Amino acid sequence: VGTIKIGYMGGKSHAPDLEAIVPALNEILKKYPGRVKLTFWGIDPPDELIPWSETAWNPPDSYEYSAFSAYFKSQSVDAAIAPLNHNKFNSCKSPIKYFEYTANAFPCVYSNLNPYSDVIVDGKNGFLAETIEEWVSKLSRLIDNPDLRAHIVQNAQADIEENWLLSKNY
Q: What is the pLDDT of residues 161-170, one digit of tens each?
A: 999 998 887 7
pLDDT at 32: 96
What proportion of the chain, given as a percentage, has pLDDT over 90?
A: 75
Bridge partners for 55 per DSSP: 38
Is the pTM of the predicted complex or chain greater than 0.85? yes
pLDDT at 168: 80
Is 110 within 8 Å of 126 (Cβ atoms)? yes
Strands (E), the chain: 4-10, 36-42, 55-58, 79-82, 108-111, 127-129
Q: What is the pLDDT of residues 128-138, one digit of tens each?
A: 999 999 999 99
DSSP 59-87: --S-SSHHHHHHHHTT---SEEEE---SS
* Overall size of the chain counted in residues: 170
| CA dist list (Å): 138 to 62, 65, 102, 155 | 32, 30, 17, 17
Other residues' Cβ atoms within 10 Å of the Cβ of residue 128: 18
